[in-house]
Amino acid sequence: MNTLIAIIGLGVLCLLFEIMNFRKAIIPVTILGLIGILGLTLSEINSPATYHNNMIVVNKFSVAFSSLFIVLTIFLVALSDNFYEKHQTKISDYIAIKIFLLSGAVAMVSFGNLSMFFLGIEILSISLYVLAASDRMNIKSNEAGLKYFLMGSFASGILLFGICLIYGAMGTFDIAEISELSQSAELPSWFFIGIVLLTIGMLFKIAAVPFHFWAPDVYQGAPALTTATMSTLAKVVAMAALYKLLTAMTVGNIMALKQTNVKRMLAFSGISHAGFMLMALLSATTAAGSLLYYATAYSLAGIAAFTVLLYVCKDKENEEISHFNGLGKTNPILAAVLTASLLSMAGIPVFAGFFAKLMLFTQTIQSGYLIVVIAAVINSIISIGYYFKLILAIYTKDAAEEKQSTPFAFYAVAVLAIVMNLVIGLYPTLIMQLLG
């Protein structure tokens, strides 16, 4: 609860800075504030509590994920200074929106009530719509923002419809009560329709197959930093929230849902990381730790990779692979970071991505879904081919242009993110014990 209030306070402070003309201080102050909030959050890990008639529930799950989101936001804010060089006047808006986005994210993992959950996801989504369109003069960015907005509202509608049906079946928005009621044998069929609609809405938001059609356009059109936000932070948030919702609501009837999940799982191999995280749902009762671990590993590698992408594709029209040619010679450090993060995503050992996959595999096999694991293995092999295309370009092609100077923030974020990834790869227990 304190976390949420502090984050919103920080967001308001950012807006005030604009009025008071402290624009230059905004990024350092925000980062310091976020680090403080991180400490505040972690201090709550061993004191679970509920606030305001169960609207907000603070427990290990919410604290662990909130901390991850805060760390990711710190990285994203650190990158902003350079990225918005040409839009200095708007910088407080961008930063404030990112902080509000974080507050939505935190609400989405610490809700105790479906209405709170909906508020969280709307705050998150609206922030993302604005960020997607934030390159105002660029028609592509505008297009991305509009498309994202239309698709997102559509998904929100479905989501809300699902929540209504659940309310109709249960007579309450409270997660704990719903969870209790769902244990009983006789449930109206629209309860399940509600859950399915809720799931579809969330899958829309994380762009999982088969609800992913909007993703390529929006990802390409939006400014690169926003894409980074969408594909690391927002995706992980939505996964965590979906996990929390489904485990809470289907404890008694999870078998029925699992059947459809297996079939869907096979279709999911396309957008693979969302699919991998969905695997955690198959062994829902024990998988919270694996999910947190996977989310951390994936988003840290993602941040590192996107940082390098921001550096390479700065002042470029698009993000073609050819821009990465010869990066190994022009900037060996960032090339090494990108290689490491791709290796992590491909699941090569020592990097956290490997252990993340391993934990999901063992857990999924333990719950009896051998076929799903085999499908996931085949999918991993395909993804390696894709990742290595980039590594090849980095090391074997010659660079087209001279080295450009790299701002310190880029080095700091890229190296820090990949080092954290390595550390949790070597000591997975660090993350796993958070949920103890």
Partner 1 sequence: MNVLLLLILILVGALATFLSGDKLASKVALFFSVAIFGYAILLLNQFNIGYDISYLSPWIANPKVFMILEADGLAMAMVVLTLALTPIIIFSSFANKFNNSKTIYALILFMSFAMCGTFLAGDGILYYMFWELSLIPIYFIALIWGNGDAEERKKAVVKFFIYTIAGSLFMLAAFAYLFTKTHNFLLVDFAMVNLTINEQFWIFLAFFLAYAIKIPLIPFHSWQANVYQKSPTVGTMLLSGIMLKMGLYSVLRWQLQIAPLTAKIHIYIFVAIGIAGTIYGSIVALRQKDLKRLLAYSSLAHVGLITAGAYTLTLDGIRGAVLQMIAHGFVIVGLFLAAEIINRRYQTNTINELGGIRTHAPKFTSFFMILVLASVALPPTFNFIGEFTLLYSISQINLWYAVLGGTTIILGAYYMLKMFQTAMLGETNKKEFSDITLNEGISLSIIVAVLLFFGLYPKPIIDLITPSLESLLVSINRFG
Could you say which of 260, 377, 400, 408 contacts partner 1 (CB under 8 A)? 377
Work out which of 233, 373, 413, 417 binds partner 1, going by CB under 8 A.
373
Stretch that binds partner 1, among 207-215, 275-283, 302-310, 340-348 (CB under 8 A): 340-348
Distance CA(47)–CA(268), nearest Å, equals: 37
For 270-331, the DSSP string reads SSHHHHHHHHHHHTTTTTHHHHHHHHHHHHHHHHHHHHHHHHHTTT-SS--GGGGTTHHHH-
Binding string, residues 293-332; x marks residues near partner 1 by CB under 8 A: ----------------------------------------
Between CA 435 and CA 432 the distance in angstroms is 6
Q: Classify residue 20 by burial, with Cβ atoms within 10 Å: 0-12, 13-18, 19+.
A: exposed
- The reply to whether 388 sits near partner 1 by the rule CB under 8 A is yes
Is residue 181 at the binding interface for partner 1, with CB under 8 A as the rule?
no
Task: Based on the shown chain and the rule CB under 8 A, indicate whether residue 362 belongs to the binding site for partner 1.
Answer: yes
* Number of chain residues interacting with partner 1 (CB under 8 A): 32
Least Å from the CB of residue 419 to partner 1: 16
x/- track of binding to partner 1 for residues 10-39 (CB under 8 A): ------------------------------
Give the torsion sign (CA, 90, 27, 425, 324): positive
Q: Which stretch binds partner 1 (CB under 8 A): 20-28, 131-139, 370-378, 413-421?
A: 370-378
**Single-letter residue type at 12:** V
Which residue in 33, 194, 275, 289 binds partner 1 (CB under 8 A)? 289
CA distance 176 to 182: 10
d(CA 134, CA 149): 13
Residue 35 DSSP class: H
Q: Which of 395, 412, 415, 422 binds partner 1 (CB under 8 A)?
A: 395
Give yes or no for residue 344 binding partner 1 (CB under 8 A): no
Where does this chain touch partner 1 (CB under 8 A) — which range of 156-164, 222-230, 297-305, 343-351?
343-351
**Is 219 among the residues that bind partner 1 (CB under 8 A)?**
no
Query: Which of 1, 32, 29, 203 has its CA nearest to residue 106?
Result: 1
Return the residue of 107, 130, 343, 414 that touches partner 1, per CB under 8 A.
Answer: 343
| DSSP helix/strand/coil, 253 | coil
Alpha-carbon gap, residue 21 to 24, rounded angstroms: 8
286 or 404, CB closer to partner 1?
Answer: 286
What is the total residue count of the chain?
436
User: Is-contact 72 421, C-beta < 8 A?
Assistant: no
**Contact range with partner 1 by CB under 8 A, out of 107-115, 248-256, 308-316, 347-355:** 347-355
Residue with smaller CB distance to partner 1, 120 or 347: 347
Cα separation, 28 vs 388, whole angstroms: 36
The residues, any chain, with a CB within 8 Å of residue 318's CB and separated by 6 or more, are: 220
Residue with tokens 């076929």: 371
Q: Between 260 and 362, name the residue whose CB sits nearer to partner 1.
A: 362
- Within 10 angstroms of residue 376's Cβ, the number of other Cβ atoms is 23
Residue of 333, 299, 141 whose CA lies nearest to 228: 299
**Residue 396, interface with partner 1 (CB under 8 A)?**
yes
* Least distance to partner 1, CB of residue 384, Å: 6
**Beta carbon nearer to partner 1, 98 or 273:** 273
Q: How far apart are CA 340 and CA 338, in angstroms?
A: 5
Pick 235 or 357: Cβ nearer partner 1: 357
Only segment of 36-44, 217-225, 305-313, 389-397 that touches partner 1 (CB under 8 A): 389-397
Shortest separation between residue 111's beta carbon and partner 1, angstroms: 27
State the residues that interact with partner 1 by CB under 8 A: 289, 343, 346-350, 354-355, 358-359, 361-362, 365-366, 370, 373-374, 377, 380-381, 384-385, 388, 392, 395-396, 427-429, 432-433
